[in-house]
Amino acid sequence: MKLSKTSEYAIRILSYMAKENNELFSAKQLIEKLGVSDKYLRKLMTLLSKVQLINSKQGRYGGYCFSKNTKDIYISDIINAVEGMDKYLGCILGFDDCSDENPCSMHEVWVETREKLLKTFSETSLYEISQKNSLKI
Amino acid sequence: MKLSKTSEYAIRILSYMAKENNELFSAKQLIEKLGVSDKYLRKLMTLLSKVQLINSKQGRYGGYCFSKNTKDIYISDIINAVEGMDKYLGCILGFDDCSDENPCSMHEVWVETREKLLKTFSETSLYEISQKNSLKI
DNA sequence: TTAAAATACTACTTAATGGTAGTATTTGCA
DNA sequence: TGCAAATACTACCATTAAGTAGTATTTTAA
């Protein structure tokens, strides 16, 4: 499994925000803490606010905050917003029409692993990982 | 999970070869059956022969054949040859120094899924998938 | 009402992957 | 020995993801 770098950053940023649990975060603050470049982080935050995972407020005393409880934001939501989750759930050999009825030669072998993958992403919430005792941000 | 397109093709080509079980395959023959472009397939086959998954023979009556029993060629070998397997086995959040002792916040959640992934790729042989009753090539 | 401090937008640059074109080399047999 | 039929090599083009730069807009408080 390899998420896009942008997905990695999105999860890192949002899990940091979940851990800190502030009312509002400025881009400046996040950039300092997370070591992401200014423009790159801002572009990403704008995307995340467009898909309503966070809210943004422009102007003086503006910033970013969660739009809902972190218990209701799953890793799959974040991946979906940034790069689309679908590609991780398709046929491992790239056949568009691969299914139980019309399987590719790896279908049977792959199905179970794919389910595990989906389960991991769609059942892990930001809140859950924010509770972990990790030194990394 | 999303393999590179080149890995997808490599597995498709090699599993076709394993299924047919000929002595020798020409590029022309594979191109026709698999609908891959001429140059792209040839480049890929040259790579696969460089890493000794297959042997190639130039000149008249040349072509490609397996260099060993398909029971001894695993999906992970193919992925490794084409794009490297390592990236699929690192930290899901991209931390280079993520480990059990120094975990990222998703480490615990991810470890089990990653193991499953590794197991699937490193224990599934070309022979195994060539025995499946798939109509796709 | 204006200046300061924040985010948003548009457009470009760079790097990696996917894909193509043309030429060179190898091999075997008439 | 030279031609036909195969793969190998080198170099380029196209597309997508990653990252950067500069300008515009929004908001608030003095």
pLDDT at A135: 86
The whole-number Å distance from A45's CA to D20's C1' is 16
Confidence of residue B43 (pLDDT cuts 50, 70, 90): very high
DSSP H/E element including A64 = strand A63-66
Nearest nt to the CA of B26 via C1' is D6
* Cβ pairs bridging A and B (under 8 Å): 110
Domain count of the fold of chain B = 1
**Which residues 6+ apart lie within 8 Å of A65 measured at CB?**
A22, A23, A24, A25, A54, A55, A57
For A25-44, the pLDDT digits (tens) are: 999 999 999 989 999 999 99
- Which of B4, B93, B107, B119 is the mutation pick for testing A, counting most A CBs within 10 A? B93
Verify whether the Cβ–Cβ distance B132 to A103 is below 8 Å: yes
Chain C positions with a protein C-beta closer than 7 Å: 3-11, 17-22, 25-29
Q: Does A5 touch chain B (CB under 8 A)?
A: yes
Verify whether the Cβ–Cβ distance A129 to B110 is below 8 Å: no
Ordered alpha helix ranges (H), chain A: 5-20, 27-34, 38-50, 75-82, 107-123, 126-130
For residue B137, is it within any domain?
no
For A41-55, the pLDDT digits (tens) are: 999 999 999 999 999
| Angle at B16 (CA atoms; ends B43, B38), nearest 5 degrees | 30
The whole-number Å distance from B41's CA to C22's C1' is 17
For residue A136, is it within any domain?
no
**Which residues 6+ apart lie within 8 Å of A33 measured at CB?**
A16, A137
Q: Residues of chain B with pLDDT > 90: what percent?
A: 93
For residue A118, is it within any domain?
yes
| CATH classification of the domain holding B70 | 1.10.10.10
For residue B136, is it within any domain?
no
Q: Is the ipTM of this complex over 0.85?
A: yes
Q: Measured between beta carbons, which residues in chain B are less than 8 angstroms from residue A109?
A: 120, 124, 128-129
For B108-136, the pLDDT digits (tens) are: 999 999 999 999 999 999 999 999 988 88
Range of the domain at A36: 5-130
Q: How far is CA A116 from the centre of its chain?
A: 17
d(CA A52, CA B24): 56
For residue A85, is it within any domain?
yes
Query: Looking at per-residue confidence, does B1 or B52 come out higher?
Result: B52
For residue A137, is it within any domain?
no
